[in-house]
């Protein structure tokens, strides 16, 4: 009976696997492809949306393909949010499949989505989508398609934009160019040439846009060579060649102008004007990119007179992008050319169009939001069955997590008990030393213990996300160190503390070390500063008075939460220098803001004349260090040098701890 149940489970699992993996036949896919292609060529995007829904319901089109074409149609109808939603869903749907058809759809959706996000200026979003997609295609040996190559180009552009270095982008562009060359050598097809030309256009445009004119000129020349090679190809479209040749001349003229080769740039522009495309409204507007760079505003203003013809004079459909990329540039060209009346008229046109564009954008946004909600509900219902199949795995995972949590609590309590026992043993050892050694031996031993405990601070700063930096430093005393300074990261948060233990003896040093140990133990399960201080206070096994400041900085939102238990108020450095009030327990840090924490030892440091360093001198040193170099490491180093200069070789009674954190 038991064996029968096992076989039954195996058969059911096999049936479920076959049902999940079933898809449209080759004949069905071919028929669906022809219908999709017909609507695509006719630019009937509403029909394309309807076809995608009906064909997937009939089982003639895969779910991933349906989402891709719905995203494509939405993008063409300027419904960007819908396009992003559909392409992301296509990626998720095809992401678990290794079939060639789904991988082709995966590559197309990734390429289209990366282009959409990069044009929008969402460079980090592009990399978040593009890098994993490119890696997956490479691992599955699907890195020869034009969609994969274009994806490399979008990734390279975005990496340069977010500051990852143009050298990485250049390497990606070279890889993409080599892939295009390989595709051309392999197929010699019209599509391979056009894909390569489109890729080179994107690279040349990127370098002109980022004003790296030397690189722009290099890639524009490669674009020209590829275009010339394609022109020799049989059955080429003369209109396409003319348009791309015009684009080549404009990109080359812009790069030469940027390199200061004005006469060469002007000659290239004259070559552009010999093309048929340059005489069209679109060609004239494209030519203005060079005229604006060359400050030839009168000619640019003349060219912009064809803007209405290019836009089809459809005022009701003017978008925010049209206003930004075309109408505002027309206004600027007429203003720079001294044609104030025309500029004023364009300005009035912009105002009129802006109202309609805002209303249209609001309407589209509302429609897209409703559509997205409907699609999310549909996806939820479709995935409900899959979710039920995963429930048992989920329950098992939750059980393991629960057991892990129990084990963590057990370990934490065991660790805490061990710390208590170690502390008691240390006290017993200390008592024995007091009774069995001479005063000088006891003092030497205490100092060794104190110095050993003082070295428990972290040696290096934790790895922080981009935009956050931290540096800590200490000036030790030859006596007993009783300062508290520690920091660590967990779950996107930086935990840090600064404090002092009253007293200059080994007991104070032990108390300081125990507080740091308790801090690391508590922060493993607690995130609230006040709660961390409370738990540390309850766990104390000493009589010394401790003053402590605990902060928790969320490295994703830059929100700082803190609790000051009687410690010196930290210094906050931004446009001015202030103290962080103990009455408040939360603040939003902004870019460039730095918090500087220190213990009492810096204020009580004395020189040979028995004069203390004091608060005013400390604030002055902080202000000067901020002006010199606002990064945490040089900032702390500057203050440390100032303190050492002040105290000279005077032996200090208390150690000094410094910590700077910058957003």
pLDDT at res. 384: 62
- Which residues are bridge partners to 548 per DSSP? 499, 565
Neighbours of 531 (CB within 10 A): 14
Query: Three-state SS string across 126-155, please?
Result: HHHHHHHHHHHHHHCCCCCCHHHHHHHHHH
Neighbours of 102 (CB within 10 A): 20
Looking at residue 629, the DSSP 8-state letter turns out to be: -
Q: Categorise residue 260: left if φ over 0, alpha if ψ from -120 to 50, beta otherwise.
A: left
Q: What are phi and psi of 266, to 5 degrees?
A: -65, -40
**Cβ-contact 272, 285 below 8 angstroms:** no
pLDDT at res. 9: 47
Q: Which DSSP helix (H) or strand (E) runs through 487?
A: strand 483-490
pLDDT at res. 21: 44
- Half-sphere exposure of residue 592, counting CA atoms within 13 Å on the CB side? 7
CA distances from 150 to 118, 523, 572 (A): 12, 46, 47
What whole-number distance in Å separates Cα of residue 446 and Cα of residue 482? 13
Consecutive 10-residue averages of pLDDT for the chain (663 residues): 47 46 65 83 86 84 86 85 86 82 86 86 86 86 83 83 72 88 87 88 89 91 90 82 92 93 92 92 88 90 80 62 80 86 82 74 67 62 62 80 85 82 78 61 50 51 85 83 89 94 81 89 92 85 78 95 93 91 88 94 92 93 92 95 92 90 93
Q: Which residues contact 482 (CB under 8 A, 6 or more apart)?
A: 500, 501, 502, 503, 504, 508, 509, 511, 512, 654, 655
Q: Which DSSP helix (H) or strand (E) runs through 58?
A: helix 45-58
**Cβ-contact 500, 484 below 8 angstroms:** yes
**Cβ-contact 142, 103 below 8 angstroms:** yes
What whole-number distance in Å separates Cα of residue 154 and Cα of residue 158? 6
**Cβ-contact 352, 360 below 8 angstroms:** no
What whole-number distance in Å separates Cα of residue 487 and Cα of residue 660? 11
| Total residue length of the chain | 663
Q: Which DSSP helix (H) or strand (E) runs through 107?
A: helix 100-120
Structure tokens belonging to residue 463: 């790895």
**Cβ-contact 490, 522 below 8 angstroms:** no
Q: Which DSSP helix (H) or strand (E) runs through 407?
A: helix 391-436
State whether residue 437 is helix, strand or coil: coil
CA distances from 443 to 476, 506, 601 (A): 17, 9, 22
What whole-number distance in Å separates Cα of residue 24 and Cα of residue 26? 7
**Cβ-contact 331, 353 below 8 angstroms:** no
Q: Would you list the DSSP string of 270-319?
A: HHHTTSSGGGSHHHHHHHHHHHHHTT-HHHHHHHGGGHHHHHTT-GGG--
Q: Would you list the DSSP string of 542-596?
A: --S-EEEEEEEEETTT-EEEEEEESPPPPEEESSSEEE--TT--EEE--TT-EEE
Q: Which residues contact 536 (CB under 8 A, 6 or more apart)?
A: 515, 518, 519, 522, 548
């Amino acid at each position: 009976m038991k064996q029968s149940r096992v076989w039954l489970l195996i058969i059911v699992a096999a049936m479920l696997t076959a049902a999940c993996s079933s898809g449209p036949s080759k004949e069905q896919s071919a028929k669906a492809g022809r219908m999709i292609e017909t609507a695509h060529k006719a630019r009937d995007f509403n029909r394309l949306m309807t076809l995608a829904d009906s064909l997937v319901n009939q089982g003639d089109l895969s779910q991933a393909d349906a989402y891709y074409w719905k995203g494509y149609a939405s993008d063409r109808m300027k419904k960007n949010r819908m396009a992003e939603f559909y392409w992301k869903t296509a990626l998720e749907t095809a992401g678990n499949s290794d079939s060639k058809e789904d991988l082709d759809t995966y590559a197309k959706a990734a390429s289209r989505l990366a282009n959409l996000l990069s044009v929008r200026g969402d460079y980090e979003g592009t990399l978040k989508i593009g890098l994993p997609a490119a890696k997956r295609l490479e691992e599955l040996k699907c890195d020869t398609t034009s969609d994969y190559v274009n994806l490399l180009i979008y990734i390279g552009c975005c990496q340069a934009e977010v500051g990852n270095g143009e050298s990485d982008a250049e390497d990606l562009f070279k890889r993409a160019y080599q892939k295009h060359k390989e595709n051309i050598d392999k197929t010699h097809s019209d599509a391979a040439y056009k894909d390569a030309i489109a890729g080179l256009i994107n690279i040349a445009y990127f370098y002109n846009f980022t004003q790296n004119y030397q690189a722009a000129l290099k890639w524009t020349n490669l674009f020209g060579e590829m275009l010339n090679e394609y022109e020799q190809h049989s059955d080429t479209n003369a209109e396409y060649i003319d348009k791309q040749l015009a684009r080549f001349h404009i990109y080359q003229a812009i790069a030469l102008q940027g390199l200061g080769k004005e006469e060469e740039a002007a000659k290239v522009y004259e070559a552009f004007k010999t093309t048929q495309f340059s005489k069209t409204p679109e060609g004239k507007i494209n030519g203005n990119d060079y005229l604006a760079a060359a400050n030839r505003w009168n000619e640019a203003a003349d060219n912009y007179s064809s803007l209405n013809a290019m836009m089809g004079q459809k005022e009701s459909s003017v978008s925010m992008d049209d206003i930004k990329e075309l109408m505002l540039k027309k206004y600027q060209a007429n203003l720079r050319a001294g044609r104030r009346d025309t500029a004023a008229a364009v300005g009035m046109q912009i105002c009129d169009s802006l109202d309609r564009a805002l209303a249209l954008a609001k309407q589209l946004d509302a429609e897209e939001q409703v559509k997205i909600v409907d699609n999310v509900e549909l996806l939820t219902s479709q995935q409900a069955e899959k979710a039920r199949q995963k429930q048992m795995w989920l329950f098992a995972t939750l059980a393991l997590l629960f057991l892990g949590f129990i084990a963590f609590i057990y370990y934490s309590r065991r660790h805490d008990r061990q710390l208590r026992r170690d502390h008691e043993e240390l006290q017993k050892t200390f008592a024995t030393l007091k009774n069995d050694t001479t005063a000088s031996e006891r003092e030497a031993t205490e100092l060794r213990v104190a110095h050993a405990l003082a070295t428990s601070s972290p040696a290096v700063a934790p790895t922080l996300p981009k935009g956050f930096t931290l540096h800590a430093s200490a000036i030790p005393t030859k006596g007993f160190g009783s300062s508290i300074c520690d920091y660590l990261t967990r779950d996107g948060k930086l935990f840090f503390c600064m404090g002092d233990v009253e007293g200059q003896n080994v007991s104070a040093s032990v108390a300081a070390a125990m507080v740091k140990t308790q801090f690391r133990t508590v922060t493993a399960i607690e995130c609230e500063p006040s709660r961390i201080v409370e738990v540390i206070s309850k766990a104390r096994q000493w009589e010394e008075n401790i003053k402590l400041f605990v902060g928790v900085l969320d490295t994703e939102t830059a929100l700082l939460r803190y609790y000051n238990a009687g410690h010196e108020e930290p210094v906050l450095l931004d446009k001015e220098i202030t103290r962080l009030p103990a009455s408040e327990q939360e603040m939003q840090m902004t870019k460039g803001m730095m918090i500087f924490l220190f213990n009492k030892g810096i204020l009580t440091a004395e020189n040979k004349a028995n004069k203390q360093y004091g608060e005013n001198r400390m604030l002055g040193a902080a202000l000067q260090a901020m002006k010199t170099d606002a990064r945490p490491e040089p900032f702390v180093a500057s203050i440390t040098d100032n303190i050492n200069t002040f105290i000279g070789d005077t032996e200090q009674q208390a150690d000094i701890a410094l910590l700077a954190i910058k957003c």
